[in-house]
Chain A
Amino acid sequence: MTATQAVQKPELTRKDFVSDAEVRWCPGCGDFSILAQVQKCMPKIGVPRENIVFISGIGCSSRFPYYMDTYGFHSIHGRAMTLASGLKASRPELSVWVITGDGDGLSIGGNHFLHTLRRNMDINIIMFNNRIYGLTKGQYSPTSEQGKRTKSSPMGSISYPINPVRAAIASEATWVGRSVDIDTKHLSSMIMAMASHSGASFLEVYQDCKIFNAGAFSHLTDKTVRDDRLLYLEPDQPMLFGKEKQYAIDIKTHRPMILDMERSRMDSKDLMKYDASDPTLAYMISNLDYPKFPVPVGVFVDIERASYSDLLEGITNEAKEKAEGPDDLRTLLAGNNTWSIE
């Protein structure tokens, strides 16, 4: 190549993000769909491929980085967010993604989940929630419903489950979303949205484990029922659902309720609009659950707040301004209390 030739980088496509590793999930696993959407989105997030890093813990979902042709790190159980935090703190220019599961992220890694979010560490976390331990062959997980019969809970689980979105909101996350593995359009819009958020972003994806918890979400996500049982949150829009968008969620006296638009003769203009910058509202809406209500998906929280990287840069600059004397090693080593021996 001569110097006069401009280096024209070809546009990357999905294929450029497919690694040569053989994908080893069970046929029909929801993970395939999430992988495909992420691979499709990556060329569009505006970050050179070499600056993208995927980090995971342990579990079925955590094999993910092997299948992405980016920098990747398959770490140990529950700890992906810690590696991601250290990497991002030291290399703020990188786009750092964490792939985790309900067991990895909320059980063994629960502490890191809380702290990574509250620090507003500028990383993107996708949690594949299949409400079961897949890789260890089917024990109940922290998101398994109470009463779930598994090998480790033959009488039915007596533990109350945790809701990942609610946990994220309570952890002060500045971007929280939820999507569904098979709803590819929605899923990719969520991935794009979280990629552009500055600060920690957390996306829960309902993911079907064909082998140990098949159909855990099909009562909500099947094409035939989806319209009535999922509530697609849209920013600054009323919370409508139903095939004809004939129902709405409204909040009266601090309680969400379902309005039948026709019967109540409401105009959608007069309905309460969803505001993702209000975590209190987000928390209330995240409580909606089937069968009393449709289950919300979409962006729950989207708040602007200085990220860890921004703040670190700020105090570093401040420290530099305050620093006295030259910045050479000997000055650093000497400190300010020395004496000489002739």
Chain B
Amino acid sequence: MSSRVDVQNSAEEKLQTADRISQDLDRVTIRFAGDSGDGMQLTGMRFTESAAQIGNDLATFPDYPAEIRAPAGTLPGVSGFQIQFSTNEVYTPGDEPDVLVAMNPAALKSNLGDLPHGGTIMVNEDAFTANYLRLAGYDENPLDDGSLNEWRLIRVPITRLTLAAVEEVGLKKSLAERCKNFFTLGLVFFLYQRDTDQTKKWIDNKFGFNLDVARANKLALQAGYNIADTLEVFQTLYRIPKAELSPGLYRGINGNLAVSLGLVAAARKAGLDLFYGSYPITPASEILHELSGMLSDGIKTFQAEDEIAAIGATIGAAFGGALAVTGTSGPGIALKSEAMGLATMVELPLVIINVQRGGPSTGLPTKTEQADLLQVLYGRNGESPIPVLAATTPADCFNMTYEASRLALKYMTPVVLLTDGYLANGTEPWRIPNEDELPEINIKFAKSEDYQDRRFAPYERDENLSRPWAIPGTPGLEHRVGGLEKDLLMGRVSYDPDNHQQMVETRAAKIAGMAKDFPPLEVNGPDNADLLILGWGGTTGAITSAGEQLRAKGYSVANCTLRYLNPLPNDLCEVLERYKQVLIPELNLGQLKLLIRAHCLIDPIGLNKVTGKPIKIQEVVDKAITVVERPESVDEQETDKGAQP
């Protein structure tokens, strides 16, 4: 089915809104795709905000090229933004879109494969010129050759309508054309009955410095909305009623922002200054940007000359008594590993954020992967145990960053937090916690008074095997630390063989002992079942949804996620043993699987994907049903209840 919008006559075709059919849907997934210069990220984010304001639960995922501006109209230049919004809880941005908004032929071509038959395609017909078709590798115009018959095609001359709408402002044509993303947003707003006011306010804020541009964007937005109102193809409108989220004050948050705020919160609760030393690297730089924008007496950032300097400065700040943090991605971790060993040796608290991306080497900078797990666990010389935590959703990045900071400070150790490109850039609504909801972080710096009658011993240990933190400026506690092995109490350089054995074992025991702080594993689903789907990090959302779907169909399946990867939780093996089989989906070739096999002596099944894309719910479901018995109740024709607009 194809519908065409005529520029001239569109105004006369106005339908009465009352004539339209309004349909309630549980959930919808929209993907906006265009040239990286088309402003699709911005369009997606504005739509996200409106969905959030209405009270939908949602998750988003931007997918953008590594090049800042690849040549216009080409396949590598396509930038996409996907949002799933729902009246129920959502855990992922959606496996596949119900609606694809394609601003040019390249955007159509590179995304069509993900759109199930029957889905809706909205295109900017004006961009389907001979030149753009050629750049995208189309011999024939797909809008005309019938190749899109399996989908519901809505053709809108977006460029021309936008130009007409903003003509009165008198902008240069190139500037006027840029407003087409807001025009498009207006169309989509109408389809889902969203209000444009909030976005207009946002435009005023954002473009207030240039009143003409602000006005043009608002005109385009309204024009898109109004024109949609005149079109027959928009006869059915969709309502996605608000979700039941717990009451409170919310903001939209992505993983990188959540990490930044988690650090700020931990520093405040601990009463420490926050020091963030970092070197620009995709996809972690945003943390540096966020924190730099929050500069204050208690929040300092340091853009170092390289990755090594970034962690070196951080270790210096930790020696001085700050909550010291460095953030990077896999290649940066490789450079920092010697210094991570130093932090382990001197036993200073440090938080190391690794926003994982596709590797090895430079790999896929803007794509996601979970292949640094073994790197952060083992990628150092000597016996160098470092605790490793992983966040599971964008908002969970706040919790786990806070937890990483708490543990680093309590146990006087570097701690690695793994997030990934998917979590870093994906957004979801986040309920802003009150200060008293956050766990206490108690800091006890060593004080001069405590050592009136005895010498300060830098490597004396408390019940957690943590050593004291004596910071410069404390009279009488002057002491030296360093990367050489040291004697087990006074910290003097020691090459004594037995001392080394004991120090290596003590450092290992300290980290292993942290597991006593971890909460028991949470399993969704039955305590005993045929299958446990076990995940960690960014695949958690897909695994949770897959578990729910499988159980709804009667499969004997539970699911569980690991937030603590080193040390592993004390109850892990006992939990795993309750299930006949364990399936581990991960975006690598089986790194957690290897750990579980070594740690619990069981043999999990892997589901391993390394395409640079997040794992889909359906992929987990498909794999799971190959290993568990099909319950009799399952009707193979049954489909997911998410409806197609």
Contacts and interface: CB of A to CB of B under 8 A. Distances in A.
Interface of A: 19, 21, 48-53, 55, 58, 65-66, 68-76, 79, 81-91, 93-94, 111-112, 114-115, 312, 315-316, 319-320, 323, 327-330, 332-335, 337-342
A111 B296 contact: no
A335 B319 contact: no
30 contacts: A21-B492, A48-B475, A49-B475, A65-B480, A65-B482, A69-B478, A71-B479, A72-B479, A72-B480, A72-B482, A73-B480, A74-B482, A75-B482, A76-B339, A82-B311, A82-B312, A85-B304, A87-B316, A89-B300, A90-B317, A91-B321, A94-B320, A115-B304, A320-B297, A330-B435, A332-B294, A333-B261, A333-B265, A337-B251, A339-B52
A262 B317 CA distance: 57
Contacts of B300: 89-90, 312, 316
B302 A79 contact: no
Contacts of A319: 295-296
Contacts of A85: 302, 304, 309, 312-313, 316
Contacts of B250: 338-341
Q: A-B pairs with the 10 shortest C-beta distances? A: A82-B312, A86-B313, A74-B482, A86-B316, A83-B316, A87-B316, A72-B480, A115-B305, A82-B309, A90-B317
A88 B249 CA distance: 39
A114 B304 CA distance: 12
Given A90-B275, A90-B317, A90-B320, 12 more contacts: A58-B483, A65-B482, A71-B480, A73-B346, A76-B342, A86-B302, A91-B472, A91-B473, A112-B309, A316-B297, A332-B264, A341-B247
Contacts of A312: 300
Contacts of A51: 472-473
Nearest to B433: A333
Contacts of A66: 480, 482, 492-493
Given A69-B478, A83-B313, A329-B265, A90 B49 contact: no
A73 B482 contact: yes
Contacts of A50: 472-478
Of A52, A53, A84, A89, which is in contact with the most chain B CB atoms at under 10 Å from its CB?
Answer: A89
Nearest to A322: B295
Chain B interface mostly = mixed
Contacts of B321: 90-91
Contact of A79 (B269, B277, B309, B434): B309
B397 to A, nearest CB: 13
A124 to B, nearest CB: 15
Contacts of B53: 339
A337 B480 contact: no
Contacts of A70: 478
Contacts of B313: 82-83, 85-86, 89
Contacts of A328: 435
A227 to B, nearest CB: 40
Nearest to A58: B483
Of B277, B478, B492, which is in contact with the most chain A CB atoms at under 10 Å from its CB?
Answer: B478
A334 B435 CA distance: 12
A191 B307 CA distance: 31
B497 interface: no
A82 B312 CA distance: 5
B252 interface: yes
A79 B308 CA distance: 8
A301 B245 CA distance: 64
Contact of A334 (B249, B477, B492): B249
B167 to A, nearest CB: 32
A52 B474 CA distance: 10
B251 A72 contact: no
B440 interface: no
Contacts of B475: 48-50
A337 B48 CA distance: 13
Nearest to B492: A21
B264 A94 contact: no
A316 B296 CA distance: 5
Nearest to A319: B295
B17 to A, nearest CB: 26
B169 interface: no
Contacts of B338: 76
A234 to B, nearest CB: 35
Given A82-B304, A335-B251, A71 B246 contact: no
B315 interface: yes
A323 B246 CA distance: 30
Nearest to A320: B296
Contact of A333 (B275, B305, B316, B432): B432
Given A51-B472, A323-B296, A340-B249, A76 B483 contact: yes
B301 to A, nearest CB: 9
Contacts of B509: none
Contact of B249 (A55, A323, A338): A338
A93 B473 contact: yes
A168 B338 CA distance: 27
Given A74-B483, A90-B322, A329 B264 contact: yes
Nearest to B481: A73
B601 to A, nearest CB: 37
A75 B277 contact: no
Contact of A83 (B294, B305, B312, B435): B312
Contacts of A88: 316
B314 interface: yes
A90 B322 CA distance: 7
Of A50, A53, A58, A323, which is in contact with the most chain B CB atoms at under 10 Å from its CB?
Answer: A50
Interface string B262-284: 00110011000101010000000
Contacts of B247: 340-342
Interface string B26-59: 0000000000000000000000010011010000
A115 B306 CA distance: 10
A186 B308 CA distance: 35
Given A83-B316, A316-B297, A74 B251 contact: no
Contacts of B342: 75-76
Nearest to A84: B316
A86 B478 contact: no
B631 interface: no
A323 B291 CA distance: 14
A86 B317 contact: yes
Nearest to B198: A339
A79 B277 CA distance: 14
Nearest to B262: A333
Contacts of B493: 21, 66
A89 B479 CA distance: 21
A334 B484 CA distance: 45
A58 B339 CA distance: 13
B434 to A, nearest CB: 6
A111 B306 contact: yes
Nearest to B314: A86
Interface in B450-489: 472-484
A94 B308 CA distance: 23
A75 B484 contact: no
Contacts of A330: 432, 434-435
A327 B483 contact: no
B424 interface: no
Interface in B505-535: none
B248 interface: yes
Nearest to A112: B309
A316 B312 contact: no
B481 A72 contact: yes
Nearest to B483: A76
Contact of A82 (B261, B316, B434, B492): B316
Contacts of B273: 90
B482 A337 contact: no
Nearest to B306: A111
B352 to A, nearest CB: 14
Contact of B246 (A75, A87, A320, A341): A341
Contacts of A73: 316, 319, 346, 480-482
A94 B473 contact: yes
